[in-house]
Structure 1
């Protein structure tokens, strides 16, 4: 019976391959030769050992590593042919690895084809235990492996918007592409010089066009596919002069870039073409592409930022159903307002669907962190170092069967761990994610740190689970990383991947310490304000401000903050990671520069301080005291009333969850908790000095036409109620992101209709509830976006038992 083993390496004796020869074919292709060079070079980097290469079995008892494809090895593999046949024959791009004890120790790495050889070598390197002057391997290696997904890769965009790539040299790009290939990647997506970004960033070492050409050659040299993400940047693709200029640009690129296997044109983000124009234009691009790359195809995505996304999507799908010959496939990614299963059901079988998954962002994205604590959202922001191995595996596996694989959307290396998780899951989704992390840590950081780093990365993901105040595991995570930090030799301490995990461990703990401290300072401030009738308004405000100022004048965990900055600076030096706008030339706070937000207040000090300024301007003491009273009782719904901050854990309990994250990780049919950080960090807010309370920043959010529903129980049928709603406007964009919303009670009674919510602002609406709506004691409120931008954000809801009801009861 043949042995078909994917990862059945059991604990066994270790073979020492430190004096091994590498037996390779007498003749091999350029890609095979490159794969063997990868083996030699990567071993030498880690061990200092240069393995000698031979074309026939050496005499003597020194161990042998046999590496090649099944077709090229020929006579070299003949002595081991029978043993190798005991393993199942792999499929396309697969490999076999087998350890044999003959007269000496022999390890066979046999690719089913030239890519399979590279992936087999990658698996060998991931299993090998390498140290200075030492190469050890499990003696009972027995693996036959074939990738499940045919498309496995990542987008590497050479532009300033990314948090690292624009600072890289050609050599750094090649090393990163090589490392992705060692975990099974078979495609890399690059970009043209002109995108929705500045083509000439301050850190760029190579002209963007030259880099595109060089990257295409590098990708091809490893036998991988070169994809090009090519957005439509012109204003009018119906204008003949525009079309001529755009085609001329593409012809220059298609003719100069030596290897292009596919071009992906996003439907939007950027680009604003209607479906008719998009397909007409894309057909022209496809014809020009095949002039220089006859086998290449154009792929399109139904991504759309349009307010009326359903109409746009229907138009897109109508064109796909016409089955144009030039179309290579359809891409599913961010801003696609249809589930992947539904998209696969509609798209004709002749067209494969490729995923374009956002693995780089934390919120306001395709797959946000579930119920993320606001303190993290404020500081770590939308794009931070974000290893999420379990979440990424869940997202991958849930939708795996509906696509041929994934080339991820990435904005740099903050998502580095997620890339390798996706590649390994695309190869075989049965792989436990902890095994991927062990191999990742063993190969890239060191064998002695494989288990510690793997578990440390898992702990970083757990740091983001649940309310931060209650998450005591954050401190334990830091202690784990600190123990490794204390014992780390220079090659580990200066390893950028180790530094990224270490930075997150320090950062998370610093934020938690600050949150505990600043929460208490805010409570002290509120206690002073409650004494205003006795102290006087001015004295109470002065004491409250003094309490709030302690966050800066007497900070906590200052050494953790200093260590975070040290690591951030080292990361910029080591790998060009840009975690600060001023210090590292990051393009913006929201583009990975989370170090610039490390001291952002975690309590309502900014809102309170802005309110104090307003109160001081009031004419009389009585007015000031009344204003302080209103401030203290801002969220108080009164006797028999209800207040919910829908972005908090408590308020979230009232929200109907829909399918929920487990079945709907993209929240296309479910509400989600989300933070409107732009309301705090926008230039408009800072310039005006009037900050919103944090409760209005965190909200429940739904996409497109998905409603948001709240349920209240145990109401008094004899009472009348008023509802007050705080809507959060969306971030300010190039095009208007205003939207309109209608609120109904129990599915029928309109409470308020067609309310305009302006972008970048909070909109407070107060409306009476019809008496009959609460006759049963249960009230269901449903919020529905009517038109405008396709996100509905509700931050706070007050259900107030009216004062006349209370008076009559008394």
Structure 2
């Protein structure tokens, strides 16, 4: 264990390399009794550039006289090498034990993203900005290189709405931090998205035969109504301005959930009206930001109309000049069949949008952590040979482990979920508890699916497979007793342990929430900053169940 560490940087260190050094020092200071010294440390850590390793890659190697070197192809590689060094090291009150991992590592997927769904008063929407910014920094250490946020128009009367301007400022703050840690900013627009105050005469139709479009707020516009496309383009130009200032690198254009129009002129939306809207928005955006990459989403294609994938493929065969990537993924762990059988429309690079939040129950994260390594591995295996990366869909911090699983898959497509879980547990908690916590995580995945059954005034939340709940709870409590204090207090551990506590209380109380479960749910609410959250992202405390805020 080293108690003193000397850190050296390149002579002309860039701001990103200096940020990597700052995060290295912060982590060591917070987790160990070691301190950094200006010279003559027991351990020397050297950060240096060594072009030729491969884009964003790094090497960790031993140097002379108790020196460990992080050599990187470029400045992003320095940050990612620091992250790997930190994850393989040990921390204690006695000092810092540098990790033993040595070798060269180069990411295999170029788009290693995450999507923060900045709405519904979830963590990204309501937590203090500095907490969200710190979270962005922590994700960067795992190799995340692009972050997407969303300005959800239906919340606001117009762009000038004070609440809209407040959100724009918040998103700029999040993306500013992203740029500081080498993360390329991204955002998404629904192709026909409208404000709450959108003109009623321009609005879209949401009834598709005997079905209605999901999550349609009835503020979207129909592009075939005279004047609607002009209005959509005015709104696009207006919204782009703050994102230009944020250094926008990617813009997604989205068809459904929310979004869409079912009128006969737009039908079928995914292969017709959507593309007409999206192309005009994309070309306008590229004029405003020449280096911008357009990502065309296929979310929910063929769910309401047949032939949407085929319509997109035909359109891209004729002219794909306005699109840079196709985004494809499905619900509940299913990857779309079309690109597997036929390839990506237009031969464009394909990126994913894996669902990591909305699994097991409609209260997403309301019971604590929702680790799902088996499900995530299965989803990744379906598309990994086709994908250039992706943006996992996140509604909060409760699926933190699931984010890191995809960060690991994008870096090394053949790395197993179990290996990533073990690295995560060792780094975020302690190498001493890897076995029992990894076992508990597997149980928590199997016991996540549950229902909401209303019987009288008090609801029941029956868990589908409760047989292993007591074992998971016991494993987590045993690990808790062995954790260092910094890990025991950390929110990542608390949401995992609270999940075990809540499930145990449900089991012992005929799946009703007990007083102890209520206390745990209230703690989750504080951790998530979910005091005003919509019902799908709020822990189901008695207070939240009474209010049932809309999403």
Q: Does structure 2 retain, via aligned residues, the 8 Å contact 1:130–1:447?
A: no
Instruction: Give CA deviations for 1:729-766 in whole Å, capped at 9, x if unaligned.
Output: xxxx99xxxxxxxxxxxxxxxxxxxxxxxxxxxxxxxx
1:268 aligned residue (232, 253, 256) = 256
Tell me which residue corresponds to 2:382.
398
Tell me which residue corresponds to 1:225.
184
Q: Does structure 1 retain, via aligned residues, the 8 Å contact 2:364–2:537?
A: no
Q: Does structure 2 retain, via aligned residues, the 8 Å contact 1:159–1:199?
A: no
1:256/1:473 Cα in 2 relative to 1: closer, same or farther (>3 Å)?
A: closer
1:452/1:175 Cα in 2 relative to 1: closer, same or farther (>3 Å)?
A: farther
2:240 aligned residue (251, 254, 272) = 254
1:482 aligned residue (465, 474, 477) = 477
Give, in whole Å, the separation in 2 of the partners of 1:143 and 1:272: 49
Tell me which residue corresponds to 2:337.
339
Give, in whole Å, the separation in 2 of the partners of 1:302 and 1:34: 36
Task: Find the residue that maps to 2:272 and give its secondary structure.
Answer: helix
Counterpart mapping for 1:22-61 below 5 A: 22-47=7-32, 49-52=34-37
Q: Kindly state the Cα deviation for residue 329 of structure 1 after the two structures are TM-superposed.
A: 1.3
Counterpart mapping for 1:91-102 below 5 A: 91-100=54-63, 102=64
**Higher CA-based Rg:** 1
Task: Find the residue that maps to 1:457 and give its secondary structure.
Answer: helix
1:568 and 2:515 correspond: no
Give, in whole Å, the separation in 1 of the partners of 2:407 and 2:226: 42
Q: Does structure 2 retain, via aligned residues, the 8 Å contact 1:161–1:197?
A: no
Give, in whole Å, the separation in 2 of the partners of 1:422 and 1:470: 26
1:505 aligned residue (464, 476, 500) = 500
Tell me which residue corresponds to 1:354.
351
Counterpart mapping for 1:278-427 below 5 A: 278-304=274-300, 308-334=304-330, 338-339=336-337, 341-342=339-340, 345-349=343-347, 351-362=348-359, 385-427=369-411
Give, in whole Å, the separation in 2 of the partners of 1:592 and 1:131: 35
Q: Does structure 2 retain, via aligned residues, the 8 Å contact 1:414–1:592?
A: no
1:30/1:292 Cα in 2 relative to 1: closer, same or farther (>3 Å)?
A: farther
Pick which of 108-117 and 338-347 moved more. 338-347
Q: Does structure 2 retain, via aligned residues, the 8 Å contact 1:425–1:431?
A: yes
Task: Find the residue that maps to 1:226 and give its secondary structure.
Answer: strand
Instruction: Give CA deviations for 1:773-807 in whole Å, capped at 9, x if unaligned.
Output: xxxxxxxxxxxxxxxxxxxxxxxxxxxxxxxxxxx
Instruction: Give CA deviations for 1:641-690 in whole Å, capped at 9, x if unaligned.
Output: xxxxxxxxxxxxxxxxxxxxxxxxxxxxxxxxxxxxxxxxx99xxxxxxx
Q: Kindly state the Cα deviation for residue 341 of structure 1 after the two structures are TM-superposed.
A: 4.0
Tell me which residue corresponds to 1:67.
47
Give, in whole Å, the separation in 1 of the partners of 2:448 and 2:302: 32
Q: Does structure 2 retain, via aligned residues, the 8 Å contact 1:310–1:337?
A: no
1:479/1:145 Cα in 2 relative to 1: closer, same or farther (>3 Å)?
A: same
Tell me which residue corresponds to 1:742.
none
1:344/1:219 Cα in 2 relative to 1: closer, same or farther (>3 Å)?
A: farther
Q: Does structure 2 retain, via aligned residues, the 8 Å contact 1:383–1:592?
A: no
1:198/1:587 Cα in 2 relative to 1: closer, same or farther (>3 Å)?
A: farther
Structure-2-length-normalised TM-score: 0.80
Give, in whole Å, the separation in 1 of the partners of 2:326 and 2:102: 38
Q: Does structure 2 retain, via aligned residues, the 8 Å contact 1:263–1:297?
A: yes
1:174 aligned residue (91, 113, 133) = 133
1:199/1:171 Cα in 2 relative to 1: closer, same or farther (>3 Å)?
A: farther
Q: Kindly state the Cα deviation for residue 338 of structure 1 after the two structures are TM-superposed.
A: 3.9
Say how many residue pairs are matched. Answer: 498
Instruction: Give CA deviations for 1:81-119 in whole Å, capped at 9, x if unaligned.
Output: xxxxxxxx632111100124x3x2111101111111111
Give, in whole Å, the separation in 2 of the partners of 1:470 and 1:305: 32
1:113 and 2:59 correspond: no
Q: Does structure 1 retain, via aligned residues, the 8 Å contact 2:326–2:344?
A: no
Give, in whole Å, the separation in 1 of the partners of 2:300 and 2:377: 26
1:424/1:414 Cα in 2 relative to 1: closer, same or farther (>3 Å)?
A: same
Give, in whole Å, the separation in 1 of the partners of 2:524 and 2:164: 18
Give, in whole Å, the separation in 2 of the partners of 1:338 and 1:331: 11
Cα RMSD (Å): 3.5
Counterpart mapping for 1:143-162 below 5 A: 143-160=103-120, 162=122
Give, in whole Å, the separation in 2 of the partners of 1:479 and 1:337: 36
Structure-1-length-normalised TM-score: 0.56
Unaligned runs of 5+ in 1: 1-15, 72-88, 364-376, 519-554, 579-583, 601-681, 684-732, 735-810
Task: Find the residue that maps to 1:207 and give its secondary structure.
Answer: helix
Unaligned runs of 5+ in 2: 194-219, 262-268, 451-461
Q: Kindly state the Cα deviation for residue 491 of structure 1 after the two structures are TM-superposed.
A: 3.6
Give, in whole Å, the separation in 2 of the partners of 1:180 and 1:438: 17
Give, in whole Å, the separation in 2 of the partners of 1:359 and 1:199: 31
Q: Does structure 2 retain, via aligned residues, the 8 Å contact 1:130–1:136?
A: yes
Tell me which residue corresponds to 2:83.
122
Structure having greater relative contact order (Cα 8 Å, sep ≥ 6): 2
Give, in whole Å, the separation in 2 of the partners of 1:564 and 1:308: 40
Q: Does structure 2 retain, via aligned residues, the 8 Å contact 1:62–1:105?
A: yes
Give, in whole Å, the separation in 2 of the partners of 1:346 and 1:44: 47
1:347/1:412 Cα in 2 relative to 1: closer, same or farther (>3 Å)?
A: same
2:532 aligned residue (545, 570, 585) = 585
Q: Does structure 2 retain, via aligned residues, the 8 Å contact 1:380–1:598?
A: no
Instruction: Give CA deviations for 1:476-507 in whole Å, capped at 9, x if unaligned.
Output: 11111122344556544432111111121122
1:237 aligned residue (223, 227, 230) = 223
Give, in whole Å, the separation in 2 of the partners of 1:414 and 1:346: 32
Tell me which residue corresponds to 2:204.
none
